[in-house]
A and B are shown apart, each in its own frame.
Chain A
Amino acid sequence: MNVLLENLPLVGQGFLNTLGMLALAVLFALPLGLVIAALRISPVASLRLTASVYTEIFRNIPLTLIFFAMAAFLPTLGFDYFANAIVALTLYTAPFYAEAVRSGVNAVPVGQAEAARSIGLGFSQVLTLVVLPQAVRAVIPPIINVTIALTKNTSVATGFFVVTLVTTIQRLVNTDPAALLWLFGGVAVCYLAITIPLGQLADRLEQKWQVAR
């Protein structure tokens, strides 16, 4: 217990950094993901291709490698480590958001839009009154799940000079096992305090909206 209190500044900074990375990465990755999703369901073939190439590349290389390669591919930008982490997390997470959005929009049956058109609604009306309200319901729970994954992925920044919750463990690895166990417990609780409520929210929304669809 004492070890947690003694290292409170470090643990606190780790927790704040984790929350900060999470918030900023969501802020950038979600719009980017929406753009990619829009490209992937657009009628223009070359846009679709571009978006799927991006998706396939970034979903199939490890986040750790993206963190690393940032330095090699964007040498002139001169980011600090925190910004580097945000960019890597954004690039990596955006395609996952995009896939969540795309599968949600595709989950709306074609007949819905056809029915809307046949009663004389225009494109924007079809979109805002019929398709989007249904798509949003299918999209929000997976988006929350991607965000949970993102929360856990912020821990990768540990290896790249950002103080995260795991950094506390990395630094104090040589303390005695009992203290270390406390530290693990504290760090685990911090992560679970973010991931479990989000998971419950996703479950609840999914159950609530399942009936309504």
Chain B
Amino acid sequence: MTSVLYDTPGPVGRRTSRIISAVIALLLLGGVGWYLYNLNEQGLLAPERWDIWNDPLVWMDLLGALGTTLQMAALGAVGAILLGMVLALLRIAPTRWIRIPTTGALELLRGLPVLLMMFFFWALVGLDPFIAVVLALALYNGAIIGEALRAGIVSLPKGQREAGLSIGLGGLQTRLLIEFPQAFRNMIPIIVAQLVVLLKDTSLGYIIGMQEFLRRGRLTYEFFGRDQYAFSTFVIMIALYLAINLTVSWIARRLAKGSSRKPRKAAPPTGGGTNSIDPSFGSARIGGSAGTGATNT
């Protein structure tokens, strides 16, 4: 592996690096072992701290709340993608009277914490917490997806738009039929990464009193006696979040690979440049501050 920092190592270098690697691995394993040993000493791994998880009802309860979380995420995701598409179109509209207010609104949406928006819809507008969470997530992530889509459209080769116009399509038709599908495909990794963010942000519903996954977990261990089961509950909640988000990220990576494997034949590499961005890092490197939020919460 040649990298900017060092040459491909030769046989001696490879052996040295293997030895160092093994030594460090042993040290790290030792560290993990020591941590587990300590946990065990404190009795955190004892069966009586885990036995509630033998009861399927406890699982059903927690998974039910996970269902609510996923439901919020799914609705928020649909809203965010639709809103993102609309915002992207408005943001590059030829009319200044549309473009400038949209830019302002986008700045506003990206600059505020999602939590504040949730409070806004819940406390001031007086909506149901569920709807408040979904709306806030759709607005915030819609703004970020909109910026990503805009960056995707801007980075397309100019000829795409010219070709559309020259075969007699109108301005909006060219956007929707020629540019938009390409931009969307190029930006799929970023959009999916943003959806992972959205899924994680559903947990903010906890703070405005939603009965979502986190709160249900907390209620579960409090129900069985205050702190005894906290540890096992957290381990299980972390494992479930990881399982879901890593699956979504994995899908994102697969999609990214799929869309770069069959590049548009006629297009010069300018459009493809956006593909090379690490999808798991969100959009932080695209078009100005487009990524402002993609790395959020």
Binding site for B on A (CB under 8 A): 41, 43-47, 50, 56-57, 59-65, 68-69, 71-73, 75, 96, 99-100, 103, 105-106, 108-110, 112-113, 117, 123, 127, 131, 138, 141-142, 145-146, 148-149, 152-153, 155-156, 158-159, 165-166, 169-170, 173, 177, 180-181, 184, 187-188, 191-192, 195-196, 199, 202-203, 206-207
Q: Which of A43, A152, A202, A207 contacts B297 (CB 8 A)?
A: A152
4 further A-B contacts with Cβ under 8 Å, apart from A56-B242, A141-B285, A181-B124, are A65-B237, A103-B281, A192-B111, A206-B288
Q: Are A60 and B115 in contact (CB under 8 A)?
A: no
B 17-52 to A, binary, CB cutoff 8 A, 1 in contact else 0: 110111011001000000000000010000000000
Q: Are B277 and A50 in contact (CB under 8 A)?
A: no
Complex Cα–Cα for A184 and B116 (A): 8
Contacts of A41 in B (CB 8 A): 3, 5
Name the CB-closest residue of A to B276: A107
Contacts of B116 in A (CB 8 A): 155, 165-166, 169, 184, 187-188, 191
Q: Are A170 and B107 in contact (CB under 8 A)?
A: no
B4 interfacial by beta-carbon distance below 8 Å: yes
Q: Are A64 and B5 in contact (CB under 8 A)?
A: no
Contacts of B206 in A (CB 8 A): 64, 159
Known: A72-B231, A192-B108. A145 touches B241 (CB 8 A): no
Contacts of B201 in A (CB 8 A): 62
Contacts of B3 in A (CB 8 A): 41, 106, 110
Report the 9 A-B pairs with minimum CB-CB distance, sorted nearest first: A159-B207, A60-B245, A62-B203, A155-B113, A195-B111, A46-B25, A62-B200, A152-B113, A64-B203
Name the CB-closest residue of A to B27: A46
Question: B4, B21, B112: which has the most chain A beta carbons within 10 Å?
Answer: B4
Known: A166-B113, A199-B111. A103 touches B277 (CB 8 A): yes
Q: Are A57 and B207 in contact (CB under 8 A)?
A: no
Known: A45-B21, A153-B297, A192-B108. A100 touches B284 (CB 8 A): yes
Q: Closest CB of chain A to B115's CB: distance in Å?
A: 4
Q: Closest CB of chain B to A32's CB: distance in Å?
A: 16
Contacts of B196 in A (CB 8 A): 60
Q: Are A64 and B242 in contact (CB under 8 A)?
A: no
